[in-house]
Structure 1
Amino acid sequence: MQFPESWLRAYCNPPLSTQAIADVLTMGGLEVEDLHPVAPPFSQVVVGEIKEAVQHPNADRLRVCQVDVGQGALLNIVCGAPNARPGIRVPVALVGAELPPGEDGKPFAIKLGKLRGVESQGMLCSARELKLNDDHGGLLELAADAPIGKNIRAVLNLDDHVFTLKLTPNLAHALSVYGVARELSALTGAPLQVPSFPPVQPANDAKLAVKVSAPDLCGRFSGRVVRNVNTKAKTPQWMVERLAGCGQRSVTALVDISNYVMFEFGRPTHIFDFDKIHGGLDVRWGRKGEQLKLLNGNTIEVDEKVGVIADAREVESLAGIMGGDATAVSDDTRNVYVEAAFWWPEAVQGRSRRYNFSTDAGHRFERGVDPSLTVEHIEYITRLVQDICGGEAGPMDDQVLKQPERKPVQMRVARAAKVIGMPITEAQCVDAFARLQLPAKVDNGVVTVTPPAYRFDLSIEEDLIEEVVRIVGFQNLPTTPPLAPITAKLPPESRRSRFAVRRLLAALGYQETINFSFVEEKWEKDLAGNQDPIQLLNPIASQMSVMRSSLVGSLLQVLKFNLDRKAERVRVFEIGRVFVRDASVQTTDSTVRGVHQPMRVAGLAYGDPSGLQWGSKAGQVDFYDMKGDVQALLSPLQAEFVAAAHPAMHPGRCAAIRVGGKDVGFVGELHPRWRQQWELPHTPLLFELDLDAVTARKVAVFESVPKFQPAERDIAVIVGEQVTHGALMDAIHGAATSGLLRDALLFDVYKPKEAQGGLQPGEKSLAVRLTLARSDATLTDEEIESAVRAVVDRIATQLGGRLRG
C-alpha cells in the first residue's frame, strides 16, 4: 500500500512530523516499509511559458526559445526537446540552479553559456532531468494555469513524501488512504475528516437490467448509467499527482477516476462501455469452455469455480478481479455503466493465481471490502465523472442479496490484562474501541463489540485484545522478566541425544543433509512400496505432492545431485520425520489423527569406502562396510541381521535389522532397477533405522572383576551348508549350561571340495571357541565337560549337527 503524505493529511492531520507519523503507524501495527520524498532536492526551478520558439541558426535539432519566467524580460534559452513550442508551460532551471545528481553522483549546476553560438540563459527541463520519472521524450508540460515564476516544487507539491506500508492480510480495512487516516486518527487522537456523498439527481431514466444468479458469489450489486460522457477529457493534475504518489500512472480520465476511488476508499469499481453490452448483465459462476479476453490482453478460459459478469452474448468481466476487453471504455465511448459490488472473499481468493497474475481489485476483494457503501461510492464516482467528463446520470440500481453477518465478539478485561502483560481497566478498553469507532458495551468485566461492516478481521477474543494493545501502545508495555522457575531437564541415562547420534555418524565419515518432508509420489510407490501416500492439499511444486514415509528417496536425490557435480565418493545421512497412515493415532497437541510421525535415521554410502588411500587399492563400498557402520551406530546394543526383502533393496543383498527381537530397520544394496533408473554408475548402500532404537542404550551396571580364571574350550561341529552363523549362535546360547557360558566365537569354517575327514557333500565344519566361567568358584572338569556336552547336544537337536572326529 503506497500513498502520498499530503493525501493522508487531507483526512487526518496530526501535529507530528513525517517521521513521527511513520513511527506511530508502525507501532500501531501498520508497518511503514519505506518512506521517501516525492522528488530529490533541486533548487531555482520555476514555471515558465514559452512565448516563441524558432529554429537554431547553426543546428537542425535545436530551437531558440523566448521564455517568460515572471521576471519582466524574456529569457533566451536553447532547447532540443521535440515538444518545445509556444504556449506551453514547462519547468525552467534558472542560471545558478542545481539539478538532481547525475550518474556521477554530483549535482548538476546551470550556468550561463552558449550553444552553437547562441547564448542560453537557463534550461528547459524534462521529468527525467528532475528525477520525477523516466520520461525523457520531451519537456515536462505543466497545467495551462500553472502560475508563471512560481517554484516548481510548490506547484507540483514535490516536497511531499510517499509512505509504503507492509500490511498483514488481516488489515484489509487499511488498504486505502481513508482507511489509514482512520487508523492514524485512532492512534493519535487527531480529528478525522469524514467524507460525505451527496446523491446525484438523475437526469434521465436509463437503466441496465442486471440479474444476480449467484448470491454465494455476489452479496450486493449496485450500478448506474451515465450518458454523454466525454472520454477524451484530460485528468486533472491534482488527481494525476495523487495517483502517481500511489504508484499508479495516469491512463484515461475514466480509468483514473476508478483507480482514484479505489486508492482513496478501498473500493474497486469497474466502468463498462454501456453501448457494448448486449442485453443485460448476469452475475454468475463461469461455465466450462467459456473464454474471456481481459484488459491486460490475456485470453483466459473460465470454469464453474470462477465468478464472471456476462451479458446475453459472452462473458464480459472476471468478477472482483479484472474487466474484459470487449466492454472496455475507449475514446469513442459516449455512455458508460458504473458498477460497484460486494464479492464474497471466499469467491475471489486464489482465482488470480490460477491465471498467474494479480490485481489491486482482487487483492482487496479477497480480504474483504465494506459492503455497506457501494451506493455512496457510486455517487462519488458519478460526481467525479460529471466534474471531469460531463454527462447525465441515470437512476441508481441497488440489489442487496446477502451481506456478511457481523456477530458480536466478547472480550474479558481480566483475560486482556493477562495476555497483554500489564494492568488494563474497563475504561481503557472502552476508550480504545471508541477511538477505533467500534461500538462497545461493558457488562461485569466483559466488553462486547459489534464489528462494523468494514472490519472482516474481528471474530474472536484475541482480535479485540490486539486492538486494545495497539491503541494503548506497544511501546508502553512493561519489560517484565519471565517468572517461571528454571529447572534443569536432565535427559534419561537410558537414552542418548540426537546430537550424539549425529556426532557418531559424522565420526564414521558421513555428512548430514536436510531435505523436504514432501517428495515425489513416484518415490513413495517405487522405493517405499507405499501405494497410498499422504497427499498434500496445496503442494508447493508438482514433484512435491506427498509426505514421505521413508528417507531413502531424499538420500538418493542428494546422491544424484552430487554425482552430477562430479563427486566420486558420497557418504551422507539424514535424521528426519516420516509420515505413515495409522488409524489408531488420534489428534493431540503434537499428533494428527490417522498419521503416525516417527523419527528415522538413514545413511547412504557410495564409492570407495576409504577414499583416496596409498596403502590400499581403490574399491567400492560393500554390504559389510555398511553393516559395520550400523553396528557401530547401535553399539553397545547387539543387532541381529536377518535376510529380508525391501522394495528399494537388491533381492538377496538386503537384511532386516533386529534389536531385542524387534525389527528396527534395514540395510542393503539399492535394487538394480532403481540404480538404472537413477543413472548411477555404481551401486550405493543404504540403511534406515527407527531413531528411538538408535538413541536407546543400556545403563551400565557395576560388576566386580572376576576372581577366578575362565576356561576355554574349542569344538568343531559338522552342520549342513545352509546353517547360518546366527542359527549356530542361537543354538549355542540356548544350551542348558547352568549359566556357565560367557561367550562363543566362531573362528574357523571348513568346506572340503569332496568328502573327507568325516564330512559329506553339502556339509561344513564350524570351529567355535567357548568361554566358560563361574563368579564364585573355579570350574571343575566335570562342570566344563557337562557344559560342552550341553552345547553339542543343543546343536545336534536344533541344527542336526554333530561333533567332528
Structure 2
Amino acid sequence: DGLFELPADAPVGQCLREYLGLDDAIIEVDLTPNRGDCLSIAGLAREVGANYAAQVACPAIDAVAATHDETRPVELLAPAACSRYVGRVIRNVDLSRATPLWMVERLRRSDIRSIDPVVDITNYVMLELGQPLHAFDLAEIRGGIRVRLAEEGEKLTLLDGQEITLRSDTLVIADHERPLAMAGIMGGEHSGISDGTTDLFLESAFFDHIAIAGKARNYGLHTDASHRYERGVDWQLQRQAMERLTALILEIVGGEPGPVIEALDEQHLPKPVTVQLRKERVSQMLGLDIPDADIEVYLQGLELGVVASGAGEWQVSVPSHRFDISLEIDLIEELARLYGYNRLPVSAPKASLSLTAKPETRGELPVLRRLLVARGYQEAITYSFVEPGLNKLFDPQSEPLALANPISSDMAVMRTSLWPGLSKAVLHNQNRQQPRVRLFESGLRFVPQVNGELLQEPMLAGIAAGTRLPEGWANGSDELDFHDVKGDVEAVLGQGGALDSFRFEAAEHPALHPGQSARILRDGELVGWMGALHPQLVDKLDLDGPVFAFELRLEAIVEGRLPQFSELSRFPEVRRDIAVLVNRSVMAGELLEDIREQAGAVLKNLRLFDVYQGKGIDPESKSLAIGLTLQHSSRTLTDDEVNAVMDKVVGSLEQGFKATLRK
C-alpha cells in the first residue's frame, strides 16, 4: 500500500509493466518428495529438456580469483552428517547498496521476500541451482568452524528471534565457543548479517538428508533450506554454488574474496551409482518394445551416462543430482515417463482360474470369526512385534526372534503368543471406562526352532474380562468365570462336528492361574491352552481382573468330521440319572468319556447337570449328577437292557475312579 519507490535510474516515461517485466508467467510445480533435484531453475530446465528432447545450455560459472589469503579452519566432527563443507571469507562488503530490482522481483515471484542484499543473493542462488547457502558475520566467529552435534541443553537464538534448547541429535554449525546455526535449517541471530557487517563468511555444505529429516519439525520450523536438505541435495554442487554466490556478491555489494575453503570426508560422501538396465526387463515391465536407440536417447536426455554392455544391456551412470535412482526399476520408471504413460498399451486384466479340490472336512477361519462375533467377541488386530519383557511374562520358556532394526524398544521381538497384544488391548479399553471386554484375534506366532528355522504358526486366541452379560435391567452383574470362556472354546472346537475328539485337562501354564487353567488336547496332541490369567500377571499389567484367555493352534482345530446321516428312531427314549461321589481331583470330562465308552451305541445324550460340594459329603469329595438318555434305533429297550447298561457304567466308574453311587 502507498507509493511504490523505483530506483533513481528508472527511465522516466517507460511503461511500468515493461520496466518491471510483469508480462511473465508463474508456474507452480507440485513435486513428490523423491524429486528434490527439481527444487531449482536448473533442475526444472533439465526436466523440461528431457521431456521435449531439447538441449539444455546452462550458463558457465567461472571461478572467482582470490584477492587475499585469509581463511578459517573447518573441522567436520560429525562426518556422517556433513561430509563436505565449503566456505569463503569476503572482506569489505558494502551493505548500504540495495538489492537490484530484477532480483527482488524474481524472488517475489518465487514467494521469497527481500531482506538484505547478501541474504537475497543466497536465496537467489538457491533458487537457481538448488543448493542452500548461508552467510555469517565474520566478526562474530570465534576461531574456526566446527560442524558437530549439539550438546544436550545448548541454547541458540535463531534469526527469527526464537530461543531454542538444542537436543543432542541436532547438527549445528559452531565456532570454538558456541553454536552459530542449526545446520541446514536456520542461522543464529548473533552471527547473522546486520547493517554494520563488513566482512562475511560464506557457507555451502552437503548435509546428509537423514541428519536433517524431521529436525525442523521437531522444533516447529520449516525453511526453504530444510525443505531441500530433507529431500536431498546434489553432493557435488557445493563449490559451483560458492563460485556463483561469490560472483553475485562482488557484483552487487562489492568486496574482496579469499580462497575457497573445502573440508571433505570422502569416506562418508555418497558414492557414484551405476545401474544395469536390460531391455528384456523394460519390455516385461512396460508391455512394449522400445527400440535400443530410443532408450539411449531418453536416458541421455536425463544426463545419465549410458554405455552398452551387450545386446540389449546398458551400464547407466547416475548423475549426483539424481539421488532417487539406484535400481533398474527406477530407470524403467524414467523410460515410461519420457515415452509417455498415455502411449503404453492397455489390455484388460487376464487371470486363469483353476478349480482346486477343497476337503469337506476342513473348516474355514471366517466361519470361526463369525461364531465368536455371535458370542459377543470383537475381532482385534495387534502388532506382531512386542516388547521383550511383556512376551517373557506370557511365554518365559521361549526365546523370541529379535528384530535387527526395531521400530522402537516396545516392538523389538516377534511374538511367540497372541496373548501379549490382546492383553494390551484389554488394558487400553479398561483405561477408557470399558470394563466388559471380549476380543479375539487370528494371526501368526513366531517360534525359533532348534535347527535355526522359524516356525510361523497360525493361531486363534481370545481374551475376556468383566461381567458375564452386558449391563441391562434384565441381566445380572455376575462376573465372568472359567466355565463361560470354556463354553466359548467348546463352541469353536465343535464347529467342525468333532468336539468329542477334544479333551480339557487341568495343567499349569506360566501365564495362567494354577487352579483355573487347562490344556486342550486332540487325540493326545496339544492344540491349545485356556484359563484365567495369573493374578501376579494381572497386577503387573495393571489389569482389572479376573481376565480369561484362550489360544488355539488353528491348523489343529479346523479339521472337522463329515456329517453322517443317522435315521431318527421311532422308539421311546429312556432317561436315567445317577449321582456319584468321587475325589475332588477327578476331572468330570474323563468321567463322561468313560461313560460314553461303556454305554455304547444306545447312548444318545449325556449331560453333567450338577456338581455339589459341601454339607453332607466328605470335604475331599464332590458329587457329580449325570443324566443319560438311552435309545435303540430299531426297537424299544427293555428294563433289563437299560439296567444292564447302567450296571456296566456304574461298575466301570467304581473300578476306574473309585466312585460311590449316591442313593
TM-score with structure 2 setting the length: 0.82
Shift of 1:179: 0.5
Contact residue 718 and residue 801 of structure 1 kept, 8 A: yes
CA distance in structure 2 between the aligned counterparts of 1:241 and 1:355, rounded to whole angstroms: 31
Instruction: Indicate the structure with greater helix content.
Output: 2
CA gap of 1:599–1:361, structure 2 versus 1, over 3 A, is farther
Which runs of 5 or more residues in structure 1 are unaligned?
Answer: 1-125, 127-137, 587-592
Deviations 1:73-113 (A, max 9, x none): xxxxxxxxxxxxxxxxxxxxxxxxxxxxxxxxxxxxxxxxx
Shift of 1:261: 1.4
- Counterpart of 2:337 in structure 1 is 470
Contact residue 524 and residue 531 of structure 1 kept, 8 A: no
Identity of aligned residues (%): 34
CA gap of 1:721–1:273, structure 2 versus 1, over 3 A, is closer
CA gap of 1:611–1:204, structure 2 versus 1, over 3 A, is closer
The residue type paired with residue 426 of structure 1 is D
Shift of 1:182: 0.8
Which runs of 5 or more residues in structure 2 are unaligned?
Answer: none
CA gap of 1:234–1:187, structure 2 versus 1, over 3 A, is same
Deviations 1:584-611 (A, max 9, x none): 697xxxxxx8584644342535346165
Secondary structure of 1:471's match?
helix
CA distance in structure 1 between the aligned counterparts of 2:356 and 2:105, rounded to whole angstroms: 63
Picking from 237, 243, 246, the partner of 2:101 is: 237
Picking from 721, 724, 746, the partner of 2:608 is: 746
CA gap of 1:333–1:594, structure 2 versus 1, over 3 A, is farther
- Counterpart of 2:489 in structure 1 is 630
- Counterpart of 1:484 in structure 2 is 351
- Counterpart of 1:421 in structure 2 is 287
Shift of 1:803: 4.4
Picking from 602, 609, 625, the partner of 2:462 is: 602
CA gap of 1:385–1:581, structure 2 versus 1, over 3 A, is farther
- Residue range with higher mean Cα deviation, 343-352 or 542-551: 542-551
CA distance in structure 2 between the aligned counterparts of 1:148 and 1:670, rounded to whole angstroms: 93
Deviations 1:313-368 (A, max 9, x none): 33434444443344222111101011223334455455556656454334433543
- Counterpart of 1:221 in structure 2 is 85
- Counterpart of 1:167 in structure 2 is 32
CA distance in structure 1 between the aligned counterparts of 2:43 and 2:570, rounded to whole angstroms: 91
1:729 is aligned to 2:618 = no
- Residue range with higher mean Cα deviation, 713-722 or 429-438: 713-722
CA gap of 1:748–1:601, structure 2 versus 1, over 3 A, is closer
Q: Max radius of gyration: which structure?
A: 1
Contact residue 209 and residue 280 of structure 1 kept, 8 A: yes
Deviations 1:595-634 (A, max 9, x none): 84644342535346165355x6565554444433333333
Shift of 1:265: 0.9
CA gap of 1:761–1:677, structure 2 versus 1, over 3 A, is closer
Contact residue 279 and residue 312 of structure 1 kept, 8 A: yes
The residue type paired with residue 194 of structure 2 is S
- Counterpart of 1:699 in structure 2 is 561
- Counterpart of 2:140 in structure 1 is 276
Contact residue 273 and residue 328 of structure 1 kept, 8 A: yes
- Counterpart of 1:46 in structure 2 is none
CA gap of 1:401–1:765, structure 2 versus 1, over 3 A, is closer
CA distance in structure 2 between the aligned counterparts of 1:140 and 1:515, rounded to whole angstroms: 63
Deviations 1:542-595 (A, max 9, x none): 9878776424324424533652xxx7x845434353655535697xxxxxx858
Picking from 291, 313, 316, the partner of 2:177 is: 313
- Residue range with higher mean Cα deviation, 436-445 or 283-292: 283-292
Shift of 1:440: 0.6
CA distance in structure 2 between the aligned counterparts of 1:699 and 1:433, rounded to whole angstroms: 63
The residue type paired with residue 627 of structure 1 is K
- Counterpart of 1:438 in structure 2 is 304
Shift of 1:392: 1.9
TM-score with structure 1 setting the length: 0.69
Picking from 21, 45, 58, the partner of 1:194 is: 58
Secondary structure of 1:329's match?
coil
CA gap of 1:620–1:219, structure 2 versus 1, over 3 A, is closer
Aligned positions of 1:228-377 closer than 5 A: 228-284=92-148, 292-296=156-160, 297-301=162-166, 303=168, 307-349=171-213, 351-352=215-216, 355=219, 357-377=221-241
Aligned positions of 1:378-777 closer than 5 A: 378-402=242-266, 403-442=269-308, 443-487=310-354, 492-512=359-379, 549-550=418-419, 551-557=421-427, 559-560=429-430, 563=433, 570=436, 572-577=438-443, 580=446, 582-583=448-449, 596=456, 598-604=458-464, 606-607=466-467, 609=469, 611-614=471-474, 619-636=478-495, 637-638=498-499, 640-643=503-506, 652-653=515-516, 655-661=518-524, 662-668=526-532, 671=535, 674=538, 686-690=548-552, 692=554, 696-705=558-567, 715-733=578-596, 744-747=606-609, 753-754=615-616, 762-770=620-628
Shift of 1:257: 1.4
CA gap of 1:306–1:231, structure 2 versus 1, over 3 A, is same
Contact residue 626 and residue 685 of structure 1 kept, 8 A: no
Contact residue 176 and residue 263 of structure 1 kept, 8 A: yes
